Amino acid sequence: MSLLTVGSVAFDKLETPFGKTDKIVGGAATYITISASYFTNKNNIVAVVGGDFPQEMIATMQEKGINTDGLEIIADGKTFFWSGKYHNDMNTRDTLDTQLNVFENFNPQIPDNYQDCQYLMLGNMVPALQHSVLKQLTNRPKFVMLDTMNLWIDIALPDLKAVIAEVDCLTINDEEARQLSGDYSLRRAAKSIMAMGPKTLIIKKGEHGALLFQGDQIFYCPALPLEEVFDPTGAGDTFAGGFIGYLAKTDDISFDNMKRAIVHGSAMASYCVEKFGTERILNLTQEDINTRVNQFKDLAFFDL
Ligand code: AMP
């Protein structure tokens, strides 16, 4: 089944306890589509970049089967820029700089050939834009997932609530779940967030894995304990791309299949953090992914 992803394509400048980068390619939609490319070849992106964005990266995305018809290039504009610095625990970071550039006037246009997508991933961006994408689709996709961040809870809560009310699944981290619900207990927070609209909620807990909620059901997927975590940037997006890519591939949105999807998303994220930026997830084989998925099974499976 086909997947449509809308979100940022960016330059990131990163600093972790292990090193620094100059401007490298990042962005939520970049990580999501690259990760999803291991699961579906009907993988469409809608985003905007400036004339400074490297053509080679667009060619690499196309080689991965990503349809870039919806990637708008504003020749005399500059690509969205984000800079972040990780603390020693690698689970928390500070945003040092955000320059919206061409993203400031981004008005996502959905090409006609994307209209029939069955799976929609609304990557982290201004909630009103996420909403406008949903409104532009003539047929509502079978499954709509949305990612967001604390910034929008702080400055655009009514818009965020309006779009959350219309999606099937929301992914946020534990801190954001507490902020959005006003409740410290993640279980109670999940209940109140699901009451806002989404039937399914994923709460990401960084190196401590992810929780999947639907009605009264809960599933927990740990993160793989890795010897080396180099750069967590994009891990959440890579996770989301693996999750929704797996659902699109199998075209099954039952809770049981979501459990498998969350393990595949976690396997993808475990690779993402091993190198800076998209480097590691651009160079994976199906065998690499299967190996990691089996490691998750060995890590968490038990019989009574
Ligand atoms: P993650 O580590 O999964 O939260 O995602 C990191 C990516 O999000 C980076 O590659 C950034 O370019 C992108 N990003 C950071 N801030 C924003 C923002 N305000 N809007 C859209 N994308 C952003």
State pLDDT tens for residues 87-117. Answer: 988 878 899 999 999 999 999 989 888 988 9
CA of 301 to the centre of ligand 1 (A): 33
Q: pTM score, two decimals?
A: 0.97
Q: How far apart are CA 24 and CA 81, in angstroms?
A: 10
Of all residues in the chain, the percent with pLDDT exceeding 90 is 91
CA of 80 to the centre of ligand 1 (A): 10
For residue 77 and ligand 1, the question of a CB distance below 6 A is answered with no
CA of 302 to the centre of ligand 1 (A): 36
Of all residues in the chain, the percent with pLDDT exceeding 70 is 100
